[in-house]
Amino acid sequence: MSKAKENSKRDGKEYLRNSFAAEQEVLQVKLNLSTTSITHDGVMGDVNEKHFIEFLLRHLPKRYAVDSAIVIDSNGDTSDQIDIVIYDNQYTPTLLGQHDHRFVPAEAVYAVIEVKPTINKGYLEYAGNKAASVRKLERTSVPIKHAGGEYDPKPPIEIVSGIVAMNIEWADGFGSQAFHDNLNSLEGETSLDFGLALTGGTFDTFSDEITIGAPDNALAYFLFRLLEQLQSLGTVPAVDWNKYAEVMAQ
């Protein structure tokens, strides 16, 4: 019997916690390495985005795609460049993809995430503005045909947004009053729904009130809370591809 099997049999919950704690340590090492070894801020940011994207791709169901992307709507309006977009991988193709550059139709988006070195007032506002650039785009929806007729067009889902980083600036972490004040100042399209600081814990507002997770196993707590939220969103609406086609005919 392997050591991992023995540990699992002895205390399954402790085994699960330890396994994800090791995963968090690996990600922290990768982020620390890029911080200390890469001299160009833009390149360092790109590398750190890829580390988080790789983690999400390993753990999210295959129905979700995860990429750095620009979001586009049927009017040709576009979002800012988004560090991480979680979008439908089953019914909605990406558009005009070239190597690591791609456009994701607005209808396909479940969540957007910004990757930053730390979480502070400036980066919270930055992430909120990035989220707003996606949420303001038009999203179409058409009826879905089935054997007995058709389902009514599904309303667009509420796109969730967040920020992930290595650290958090406030000494009291996500329990800081300053953090809460800055988070609450982001309203409407700029609101942020979740965040992760690998050394400082997590927060989310998925339950309509803020939930704080401790630094220990913050990465796993963040993942499971995000999975539950994505599951609750169901499936994105069916895209009205004729709206996109009409632009081509003009």
Is 246 catalytic? The answer is no
pLDDT band at 99 (very low <50, low <70, confident <90, very high): low
pLDDT band at 22 (very low <50, low <70, confident <90, very high): confident
Residue with tokens 């389902």: 151
Residues whose CB is less than 8 angstroms from the CB of residue 146 and which lie 6 or more positions away in sequence, other chains included:
none
CB contact burial 64-94 (16+ within 10 A = b; e otherwise): bbbbbbbbbbbeeeebbebbbbbbbbeebeb
Q: Is 149 left (phi over 0), alpha (psi -120 to 50) or beta?
A: left
- Of the candidates 246, 239, 192, 198, the one whose C-alpha atom is nearest the C-alpha of residue 221 is 198
Q: Which of 7-21, 43-57, 192-206, 236-250 has the highest mean pLDDT?
A: 192-206
pLDDT tens, residue by residue, 135-157: 999 999 988 877 777 888 889 99
Residue with tokens 């995430």: 113
Q: Where are the beta strands (DSSP E) in the chain?
A: 64-72, 78-88, 95-98, 101-105, 109-119, 144-146, 149-151, 160-168, 194-197, 201-204, 211-213
Is the pLDDT at 213 greater than 60, yes or no? yes
Q: For domain 14-141+152-249, which CATH number applies: 3.40.91, 3.30.460, 1.10.287, 1.20.120?
A: 3.40.91
Is the pLDDT at 87 greater than 80, yes or no? yes
Is 114 catalytic? The answer is yes
* Amino acid 46: pLDDT: 80
Coil vs helix vs strand at 110: strand
**Residues 49, 67, 116, 204: which is the catalytic one?**
116
**Residues 114, 169, 193, 204: which is the catalytic one?**
114
**Residues 67, 83, 88, 169: which is the catalytic one?**
83
Is 83 catalytic? The answer is yes
> pTM for the complete prediction?
0.89
Q: What is the side-by-side order of every strand in the sheet holding 201-204? A: 95-98, 101-105, 64-72, 78-88, 109-119, 160-168, 194-197, 201-204, 211-213
Alpha carbons within 13 angstroms on the beta-carbon side of residue 143 total 7
The C-alpha atoms of residue 167 and residue 22 are separated, in whole angstroms, by 18
Structure tokens at 244: 């996109």
